[in-house]
Structure 1
Amino acid sequence: METFTSWRTWDEARPELTGLPAADLAVVERAVIAARRWHGDQLRPTGVPYLEHLLEALEVLVRGAGVTSPDLLAAVVLHDVVEDTAATARDVEDEFGPVVAELVDWVTKPPAAGEGRQAKRAAKSAYLRRLGEAPREAKVVKLADRVSNVQRLHQMPPDFQRRYYAETITYVLPLAAAEPWFENWYREWRAEYAHLL
């Protein structure tokens, strides 16, 4: 199973994107700058800077799936800003336009309606089911995000591993069915983590 963990900083990622037209590269760079500003010093549950996750998802799209659309690349870099920072969908739209804002909105998990773990899980399940109705581009953003999340699933606590594996099989793998590169990657991932069933 191929992993995408070599772009930890924008300085490491940028040289790999030189095949993009200058204007498109500028859009992606602006997205990285905005994500860095909005996420600030946030860390992922694994303890790494948040930007590393965003750059991993970008690496998945570029090196893995061969995506070159500047809107898709910007959206994958910004996919968590509305969910996990003070940024709003309007902020994203003001800086990156309605297409990027819509993609980010599709992959933004809404807050739970109630308190407690059960309410959070119900909200997350509803959000993941809703992604089945998303435009293709939003599904691609979600697929890249989840590749970054699951490629090192073994680093998470065992109970989380089992729950996240099951969730990925149930909700995310169906999104990959229409995307050959993602379908193949997730097939290999599923086999590697099959012990979690």
Structure 2
Amino acid sequence: MLRTFDGSVGWPALRTRYAGELPAATLAALDEAVEFAAERHGDQRRPAGEPYLEHLLEALDVLVTAVGARDPDVLRAAVLHDVVEDTPTTLDEVRERFGPRVAELVGWVTKEGDRAAYLERLRDAPDAALAVKLADRLSNVQRLRTHPRPAKRASYYRETVATIVPLAAGRGWFEEWYRDWQTAHADLDREPA
């Protein structure tokens, strides 16, 4: 069975779960990042209607519980990965508030301009940025069947197989998860795009 991650439990529940795994300083840093992301994303919703913050918490949970990431900058970048792309927040604001490394990681996973060029650029991303991107996309595709537009399900499946699955190659847990996901959702390749 394909493992899924649920951000709807909220930050307090995840924080309690992580208390035995992450140092207090990391939890405090995540408190600040979650608060900032919640403020900036506000009432934004995902395509299936869930609050946007759930997606950010899912990406974080992938890194903490499945991959075993402990680097506070990587974990904060997971929570903040869409704040520049989907809100009026600038990369300079992220840098000022969370430091240059978090801003660099967020910058790597922020789409600017041409989508194909952005996906191509990810091939040169550092490992920490790729971990954030793989966790981000995992959250997006784990319940791809709930997307309200069938054509988007098909095109997003194909894009993920063509551009993200190769990035997961050689990356342990991610490689296995994406392989299983691709098999479980192969029928989406037959839907019209």
- What's 1:116 paired with? none
Task: Give 1:30-49 correspondences, 5 Å limit.
Answer: 30-49=32-51
**For 1:5 and 1:38, how far apart are their aligned partners in 2?**
21
**Selected match of 2:150 from 145, 150, 158:** 158
Look up the SS of the partner of 2:9 in the other structure.
coil
Unaligned stretches of 5+ in structure 1?
A: 113-122
- What's 1:170 paired with? 162
The TM-score, its normalising length taken from structure 2, stands at 0.94
Look up the SS of the partner of 1:48 in the other structure.
coil
- Over 3 Å counting, the alpha-carbon distance change for 1:36 and 1:6 in structure 2 is closer
**For 1:22 and 1:79, how far apart are their aligned partners in 2?**
22
Superposed CA RMSD in Å reads 1.0
The TM-score, its normalising length taken from structure 1, stands at 0.92
1:109 aligns with 2:111: yes
1:11 positional shift = 1.2
Q: Percent identity?
A: 53
Task: Give 1:111-190 correspondences, 5 Å limit.
Answer: 112=113, 123-156=114-147, 157-190=149-182
Look up the SS of the partner of 1:54 in the other structure.
helix
One-letter identity of the residue aligned with 1:190: Q
Look up the SS of the partner of 1:16 in the other structure.
helix
**For 2:7 and 2:41, how far apart are their aligned partners in 1?**
20
- What's 1:3 paired with? 4
**For 1:124 and 1:195, how far apart are their aligned partners in 2?**
24
Number of residues paired by the alignment?
Answer: 186
Q: Check conservation: 2:7, 2:55, Cα contact below 8 A.
A: no
**For 1:131 and 1:8, how far apart are their aligned partners in 2?**
30
Unaligned stretches of 5+ in structure 2?
A: none
Query: Cα deviation per residue 1:52-80 (whole Å; 9 max; x = unaligned)?
Result: 00001111111111111111100000000
Look up the SS of the partner of 1:86 in the other structure.
coil
1:106 positional shift = 0.4
Q: Check conservation: 1:92, 1:100, Cα contact below 8 A.
A: yes
**For 1:153 and 1:167, how far apart are their aligned partners in 2?**
12
**For 2:165 and 2:157, how far apart are their aligned partners in 1?**
10
Structure 1: 4+ residue segments shifted above 6 A: none
Of 101-110 and 25-34, more deviation after overlay is shown by 25-34
1:8 positional shift = 3.3
1:192 aligns with 2:184: yes
